[in-house]
Structure 1
Amino acid sequence: MNEQEQASDHRIVVGVDNSAGSVEALRWALAHARLTGYTVEAITAWQVPPTYVHAAGWRPTGIDDAGIIGYAEKTLAEAVAQVQGEDDHPVPVTTHVLQGPAAQVLIEAGKGAELMVLGSRGHGAFSGMLLGSVSRHCVQHAICPTVVIPK
């Protein structure tokens, strides 16, 4: 066994942002996990929009982190339930809502994973692009194989 095989934990990391592309990525990851026996870890990343943070690093009061996290947890659970509900033999999914830029969070979560699965476009600003900025960054920088599922 080589070093990468020894470090692998047979996990598939999936980025889920409640977009149609990320739901397709989750669906694909669950089907692949069923065939390989891997586990699935669905990740949603969140951060306070940069426009809310002033140049000196000061954050205005009134930003409800708990509300953002609660909404992210709810939408992630709904996406997982939707996709698992389509299957007679659902694969167990571990879910995590993590703070930080999506690409950075996913690359960190992908360390030691067998595979990372992403949708081709999420809720980014340039919806007409073939690859979104997060999937493009992850393809270029992830240390595990990365699959991008078209919408």
Structure 2
Amino acid sequence: MTREVKGDPVGKVVVGVSGSLGSMTALHRAVGEAQVRDAEVWAVLAWQVPNGTLGSRVLLDVSLSERCRADAVGRLREAIGTAFGGRGPGMRLSGIAVRGTPGAALVHTADDPDDLLVLGTGVRSAVRRLVRPSVAHYCLAHAACPVLTVPPSPLQAEHDTMHRRNTWRAPLDLRELAPSRTREEADGSSDLDV
């Protein structure tokens, strides 16, 4: 799936999409990288059958598997729609729902050395690291192509702060929401003599 553009091989730009703010930031960066490279974007959402490894390795219930796949496709469409609204990314973007763990699905999809794998990253708590291994670490260790990790959007920190505040039911000071103003702007005075 390699194309020749201006004498340079160009692969696809593969990006992991989960619907999180970090994955939305990565999706926008992937589109930017694809425009520079004149490449196609493949947005990948990994899915698994619930209840662990047995259900994900052995096809026990075809209808359950199809429902999970349909749900993943719906979440992927919603994430792409949320990221770009009704106008779209302005280029060809293929959405792919892949059955498997996120790291393995992304590495398998970005299998050409000319591809670029784009991932959103962020700060993870100790509990989350124990429960879920890092997709970025897996991809960095196993990818056959370059991997671009995108730090979280500045809005992510604000979102996390508000989430913690809501979780702990901390009161909100409305002055934090208003833009800061100087004394002169607030009372209309000025120290300048004209």
When structure 1 is superposed on structure 2, of 88-97 and 24-33 the one drifting more is 88-97
User: Where do 5+ consecutive residues of structure 2 fail to align?
Assistant: 1-8, 153-194
Residue-by-residue CA offset, 1:51-104 (whole Å, 9 max, x unaligned): 4738xx778769722221111111111222222338686121011111111111
Q: Equivalents in 2 of 1:52, 1:62: separation in Å? A: 16
Q: How does 1:1-151 map to 2 (within 5 A)?
A: 9-51=10-52, 53=54, 64-85=64-85, 90-112=90-112, 113-121=114-122, 126-127=127-128, 133-151=134-152
Report the number of matched residues: 141
Q: Percent identity?
A: 27
Q: What SS does structure 1 have at the residue aligned with 2:46?
A: strand
Q: Equivalents in 2 of 1:123, 1:62: separation in Å? A: 35
Q: Equivalents in 2 of 1:68, 1:119: separation in Å? A: 24
Mark the CA change 1:106 to 1:71 in structure 2 (over 3 Å): closer, same or farther. same
Q: What is the CA-CA distance between 1:36 and the residue it aligns to? A: 2.1
Q: What is the CA-CA distance between 1:37 and the residue it aligns to? A: 1.0
User: Where do 5+ consecutive residues of structure 1 fail to align?
Assistant: 1-7
Asked if the contact 1:22–1:122 (Cα under 8 Å) also holds between the matched residues in 2, the reply is: no
What code does the residue aligned with 1:110 have?
Answer: A
**Which residue is equivalent to 2:6?**
none
Q: Equivalents in 2 of 1:49, 1:125: separation in Å? A: 24
Mark the CA change 1:64 to 1:121 in structure 2 (over 3 Å): closer, same or farther. farther
Asked if the contact 1:80–1:93 (Cα under 8 Å) also holds between the matched residues in 2, the reply is: no
Asked if the contact 1:103–1:134 (Cα under 8 Å) also holds between the matched residues in 2, the reply is: yes
Where relative contact order (Cα < 8 A, 6+ residues apart) is larger, the structure is 1
**The structure with more helix, counted as a fraction of residues:** 2
Q: What SS does structure 2 have at the residue aligned with 1:38?
A: coil
Q: What is the CA-CA distance between 1:49 and the residue it aligns to? A: 3.7
